Each structure stands twice: as structure tokens, then as C-alpha cells.
């Protein structure tokens, strides 16, 4: 048995078993990434789809996903590869693509406007070793790397990745402990610490999905945007007002089909609230 240190769960994993995320296992008493090089999704996407609005706008980026996630968002759009009954089937049929091969593939797409590689679709941090190794090779090709993440990882994991990542979109899913713990199965304090460190080292944009009845009040958005506005760089300079925030509309999905899509007017109102403190606020799915 061994203890996984990737996130707050600190899973104690028996030999041959998997942790909560479904992507980390114990082999010979050491925790390893069972999803290393196992690719379930691969597409050449607009950079705006990550979403990144202020990082090489108008460009394309090769986007790769594996399987596994350390949250349990009931509205997950990619449940077939993150968690749920289908995830194990997708994992079993994932294609093996090693870091060198994936980096070379990204380079071959340069002629089609590709700027690099994005780690996305599932939660990349549960297989951070593959992200680290592949991103280093992508950089060696003179291309960019992007991480799309829920930010639920220890700072030690983040420090291993930071030299190899150019931009991130981090899901700041809400701003209450209740929502993170009881709806998502997460830890807000870990996400906040992750974001505070990430903004010191690379381009960061944030996304908040507005779920009716969960995180949709003006008060919560004011608290969230006030915290973002106070973010500082490594020298202690306040840079938060320039950090882009994407305020996104919810649609019923997966285990959360018991409510209507978020009203467009509410999304726009909450975006306006965020814009009282932040310079770059975008609405999504509207």
C-alpha cells in the first residue's frame, strides 16, 4: 500500500488498486499514473474553446485527454472519460501514445495553424507525470503548452509542471466551502492556493460555471471576483484585475438534469458584477 500525494484526498492505495480518481494505482509499493500515455480524446481545437480569450487568440491547439478525475461534479460534460459507469470502458480502450509521439504529432500540425498542445477533457493533474514529460518535449519543439484543470492538486505537483506550462484555464467552480465539499467533492482552499501560485508563473484564465440554486448569487460573485482582483505576482504586485474570468451558462447534464439551463440574463448580470473589479470578463454558452 502507498499514499498518493496529488490532492487533498491523500488516498491510501492497496497494491494493484486505484485511487479515488481512477487514474492512479499502486505498483510495488509506489503510486504511479495508470493513465500514463493513455489517450481517450484528441482534437485540433480553437484556443478559445479551452477557454482562453487572451492567449494567442484566433489560433488552434492540439488537445489531448486521458481518463480519470479527482472531483465528482454532477453536471460533468465529459463523464464518459472522467467518472461514471462508462469511464472504465473508455479507459480499457484508450490508445497508448507516448510523450515523444504526441509532441511530434503536435509539431506536424504546425502547418494547420497549431501552436502547441493542450492537456484537457479529463482532469490532467491526476496524470501529471505524463503532462510534465510531454510538455517538456513540446517546449523543445518551440511550441506552447496549455493546461485545462480543476486546480485540485498539491503545490508540489504544480511546481513540477510550472516550468513546462505556458497557460492555464482553471475552473474556479464557486466560492463556498459548502459547494466545493458537498456538491463537487472538492476542496476550495486547495484550488485557491493552486491559483495563487499559478498566476505568479504563467498566463492564467479562470472559468466559473453558474449552476442555478448552487453558486448563482451576486453576493458569491462579488466575493469571488474580489478575491481574484487581489491576486499578486511573485514580486507582490497586484495583478488580479487583469486575470480573465469566464462566467459560463449551465446546461442540464449527467446527474444534474433536475433544473433548467441558467438564464442568460443571470449569466450576464453576474458577469457585470465581476466586471466591477475585473478588467476582462467573458460570458460563455450564451
**Mean local confidence (pLDDT), 241-263:** 95
Compare 88 and 265 and report the one with higher pLDDT: 265
**3-7, 37-41, 93-97, 204-208: the lowest-pLDDT one:** 93-97
Confidence tier at 249 by pLDDT (50, 70, 90): very high
Would residue 145 count as lying in a domain? Answer: yes
| Structural domain that includes position 237 | 37-284
Domain membership flag for residue 16: no
Residue at 150 is within a domain: yes
- Residue 270 clears pLDDT 80, i.e. is over it: yes
Beta bridge partners of 210: 249
Average pLDDT over residues 86-114: 87
Residue 82 in domain: yes
Round the average pLDDT of the chain to a whole number and report it.
95
Other beta carbons within 10 angstroms of residue 112's beta carbon come to 9
- In this prediction, residues 260-285 reach a mean pLDDT of 98
CA distances from 65 to 49, 60, 110 (A): 14, 16, 20
Per the structure, how many domains does the chain have? 1
pLDDT > 80? residue 59 = yes
Q: Is the pLDDT of residue 190 over 90?
A: yes
Predicted TM-score (pTM) of the model is 0.96
CATH code for the domain in which residue 88 is found: 3.20.20.70
d(CA 92, CA 95): 9
Residue at 12 is within a domain: no
Other beta carbons within 10 angstroms of residue 276's beta carbon come to 12
| pLDDT at residue 107, rounded to an integer | 97
**Spatial separation of the C-alpha atoms in residues 82 and 91, rounded to whole Å:** 9
Residue 20 lies in a domain: no
pLDDT tens readout for residues 8-47: 999 999 999 999 999 999 999 999 999 999 999 999 999 9
83 within domain boundaries? yes
Q: Are 262 and 211 in contact (CB under 8 A)?
A: yes
**139, 71 contact by CB (below 8 A):** no
Q: In whole angstroms, how far apart are CA 70 and each of 33, 83, 199?
A: 13, 9, 22
For residue 21, is it within any domain? no
Amino acid at each position: 500500500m502507498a499514499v498518493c500525494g496529488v490532492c487533498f484526498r491523500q488516498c491510501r492505495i492497496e497494491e494493484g488498486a486505484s485511487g479515488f480518481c481512477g487514474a492512479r494505482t499502486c505498483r510495488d509499493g509506489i503510486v504511479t499514473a495508470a493513465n500514463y500515455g493513455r489517450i481517450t480524446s484528441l482534437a485540433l481545437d480553437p484556443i478559445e474553446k479551452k477557454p482562453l480569450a487572451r492567449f494567442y487568440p484566433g489560433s488552434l491547439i492540439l488537445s489531448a485527454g486521458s481518463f480519470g478525475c479527482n472531483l465528482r461534479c454532477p453536471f460533468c460534460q465529459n463523464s464518459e472519460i472522467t467518472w461514471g459507469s462508462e469511464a472504465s470502458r473508455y479507459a480499457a480502450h484508450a490508445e497508448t501514445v507516448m510523450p515523444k509521439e504526441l509532441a511530434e504529432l503536435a509539431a506536424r500540425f504546425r502547418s494547420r495553424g497549431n501552436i502547441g498542445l493542450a492537456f484537457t477533457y479529463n482532469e490532467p493533474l491526476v496524470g501529471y507525470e505524463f503532462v510534465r514529460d510531454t510538455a517538456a518535449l513540446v517546449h523543445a519543439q518551440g511550441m506552447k503548452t496549455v493546461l485545462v484543470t480543476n486546480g485540485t492538486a498539491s503545490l508540489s505537483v504544480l511546481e513540477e509542471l510550472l516550468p513546462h506550462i505556458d497557460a492555464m484555464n482553471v475552473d474556479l467552480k464557486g466560492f463556498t466551502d459548502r459547494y466545493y465539499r458537498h456538491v463537487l467533492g472538492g476542496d476550495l482552499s486547495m484550488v485557491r492556493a493552486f491559483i495563487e501560485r499559478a498566476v505568479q508563473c504563467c498566463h492564467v484564465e479562470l472559468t466559473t460555471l453558474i449552476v442555478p440554486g448552487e453558486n448563482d448569487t451576486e453576493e458569491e460573485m462579488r466575493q469571488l471576483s474580489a478575491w481574484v482582483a487581489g491576486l499578486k505576482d511573485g514580486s507582490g504586485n497586484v495583478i488580479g484585475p487583469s486575470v480573465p474570468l469566464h462566467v459560463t451558462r449551465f446546461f442540464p447534464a449527467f446527474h444534474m438534469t433536475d433544473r433548467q439551463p441558467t438564464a442568460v440574463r443571470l449569466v450576464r448580470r453576474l458577469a457585470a458584477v465581476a466586471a466591477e473589479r475585473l478588467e476582462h470578463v467573458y460570458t460563455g454558452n450564451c
